[in-house]
Amino acid sequence: MNKLKLDRRTVATARRLAAAAGRPVVDLARSHTTVSVERATLRLAGITGADPDGIPWVNRLVDTVVEQVGLGGGVAGPVFDALQRDGHQDLTLLAQKAAAGSVTFRAETPAAAKRAAARAVKTGLAQVDRRRRERDRLIKRYGDPKQRPWIYLIVATGDIHEDIPQAQAAARAGADVIAVIRSTGQSLLDYVPEGATREGFAGTYATQENFRLMRAALDDTSKEVGRYVRLTNYASGLCMPEIAALAGLERLDMMLNDSMYGILFRDINPIRTFVDQRFSRQVHARAGIIINTGEDNYLTTADAVDAAHTVTVSQLLNEYFAHEAGLEDWQLGLGHAFEINPELPESFRLELAHALLARELFPDAPLKWMPPTKHMTGDVFRGNLLDGFFNLAGALTGQGILLVGMMTEAVVTPWLSDRDIALQNVRYVLSAAGNLHEDFTPGAFIRDRAHTVLGEAVTLLRQIGRQGLLDAIGEGTFGIMRRPADRGKGLDGVAAREPGYFNPAIEILDGPSWTQS
């Protein structure tokens, strides 16, 4: 598609600048580790369960190791060393002992312990690989959605047992992807809750058991509807690496995973975020999971016209970081959103320009197109209309994943009936006007706007190249949020990798690229 007649040279320049801006951050990620990266490694190595207060054993274990020998050498070595010395083969038991104060960890790890650690992690990754093959098989059996964009619906009751029937109802009514929205506050928890949960606020906790329950329910529904229904959750917040690992183990299909969201919107420390980010993406790459990036969020705090180019810049950065972590283009659900003030003259054509720019910049990525939220009001009648025009823009510009907007956006988390009304809306638009793109040939207004945004993005990338990405973030470049590199939550969970740093998961994931078997 080249409806915008973008200049190939400018596009290449933009990519080059994004890589230059991202590279130092990748170096940072490669030279640090975090408690969550280490916990994720142990989770892949097989640790499970939580103490009676609900704190996972993996947290108790890693905390003890860090206390005793520090974080910078990696945790897997000391843990498997202790395990071997102890004679035990069970990480969870070891964690319980460690929590009771009866284990002493050592900084130096013998080769045998390292081998044992590597074996354990490989077992976990093999499970991730099996899950991926299982997905491929089920997709072959039940089929992919017939149409693009895929229809993506959220459930957000806070209670996994209300979520499940609602998700199934949505899938039966046409949803291709179900996202279980996460409880407020989970992103700032430095542990992953355990078990099936029923007490989230405006979302349900992301737990391994909830993942499992929902995936199983949607497998049933996939069979019923003859279409593989995908499941999404959030690899975001302080536990991003661990949740990525759990998602791989439980065959989730997509994950919200953005390079900067946690920094900007959860005030998580930038370095913590970038380190966690890289690991989580490597796991997603391996698991065949499609990531959804979070550029849409910027437009809830910044103006969608003024800040349009910051979305483009972020998409280019997300793309660079994703490729670097091993994700392929088909896994890049780069985000953007229909958030221009509807009172602005030509707002719809401006949306088309922005959406088409993303489409043509990333032709092979299944872009994730987010509905209006900021300018939705309690006027639910108008709301449903706006959502219809959002759906139309999605169809006209060939978006890959359509997050379905709800008329009650400004009122409540979606009701059962809201989803039904919203799905009807999508179905009408796609059926009635889904092919209107054949009759859509952007004129000067749309083309000029797209060129302007791309130009502004290049200028901003140059600027970021000069000052460094961390400083740019510190100065409020994205979403008007200022986030200095030495502030924010979770910084105490970060350490520079020490010379002998050992992490078998990273060794494998950083290693020569494995092929999907």
Ligand X SMILES: Cc1ncc(COP(=O)(O)O)c(C=O)c1O
Instruction: List residues with catalytic annotation.
Output: 261, 296, 368
Cα 146 from chain centre: 25
Residue 348 binding partner per list ligand B12, other proteins, a copy of itself, none, with a CB distance cut-off of 5 to 8 Å that depends on partner kind = a copy of itself
**Residue closer to ligand X (CB basis): 154 or 170:** 154
Terminal alpha carbon distance of the chain: 32
Residue 373 binding partner per list ligand B12, a copy of itself, other proteins, none, with a CB distance cut-off of 5 to 8 Å that depends on partner kind = ligand B12
Following DSSP, what letter does each residue of 373-384 receive, concatenated?
-TT--S-HHHHH
**Is 242:464 a contact under the CB 8 Å cutoff?**
no
DSSP H or E run through 419: helix 416-433
Asked if 277 touches ligand X (CB under 6 A), the answer is no
Q: Which stretch binds a copy of itself (CB under 8 A): 7-15, 127-135, 255-263, 420-428?
A: 420-428
In whole angstroms, give the CA distance from residue 213 to residue 208: 9
Q: What is the largest CA-CA distance in the chain?
A: 73
Asked if 417 touches ligand B12 (CB under 6 A), the answer is no
In whole angstroms, give the CA distance from residue 291 to residue 284: 7
Q: Which of 30, 85, 374, 451 binds ligand B12 (CB under 6 A)?
A: 374
Asked if 159 touches other proteins (CB under 8 A), the answer is yes
Asked if 337 touches ligand X (CB under 6 A), the answer is no
In the complex, residue closest to ligand B12 by CB: 203
CA-based nearest residue to 120, from 85, 81, 66, 70:
81
In whole angstroms, give the CA distance from residue 450 to residue 433: 23
CB of 342 to a copy of itself, least distance (A): 6
Asked if 187 touches ligand X (CB under 6 A), the answer is yes
Residue 471 binding partner per list ligand B12, a copy of itself, other proteins, none, with a CB distance cut-off of 5 to 8 Å that depends on partner kind = none
CB of 154 to other proteins, least distance (A): 11
In whole angstroms, give the CA distance from residue 169 to residue 156: 14
**Residue closer to other proteins (CB basis): 185 or 388:** 185
Asked if 385 touches other proteins (CB under 8 A), the answer is no
Q: Which three-class secondary structure string do you get for 270-326?
A: HHHHHHHHHHHHHHHHHHCCEEECCHHHHHHHCCCCCCHHHHHHHHHHHHHHHHHCC
Asked if 378 touches other proteins (CB under 8 A), the answer is yes
Asked if 265 touches ligand B12 (CB under 6 A), the answer is yes
Asked if 191 touches ligand X (CB under 6 A), the answer is no
Q: Which three-class secondary structure string do you get for 486-504?
A: CCCECHHHEEECCCCCCCH
Asked if 13 touches ligand B12 (CB under 6 A), the answer is no
CB of 148 to a copy of itself, least distance (A): 16
What character string, x for contact with ligand B12 (CB under 6 A) and - otherwise, covers 145-184?
Answer: -----------x------------------------xx-x
What Å distances lie between residue 435 and 14, 401, 412, 440, 489, CA to CA? 31, 16, 33, 9, 47
Asked if 338 touches ligand B12 (CB under 6 A), the answer is no
**Residue count of the chain:** 517
Q: Which of 46, 49, 72, 185 binds other proteins (CB under 8 A)?
A: 185
CA-based nearest residue to 332, from 364, 310, 309:
364
Structure tokens at 97: 């002992």
Q: Where on the chain is the footprint of other proteins (CB under 8 A)? A: 156-159, 162, 165-166, 168-169, 172-173, 183-185, 188, 201-202, 265-267, 300-301, 377-380, 408, 410-417, 420-421
Q: Where on the chain is the footprint of a copy of itself (CB under 8 A)? A: 342-349, 352, 379-382, 384-386, 388-389, 392, 407, 421, 424-425, 428-429, 431-433, 435-436, 438-446
Q: Where on the chain is the footprint of ligand X (CB under 6 A)? A: 182, 184, 186-187, 234, 236-237, 256, 258, 261, 266, 294, 297
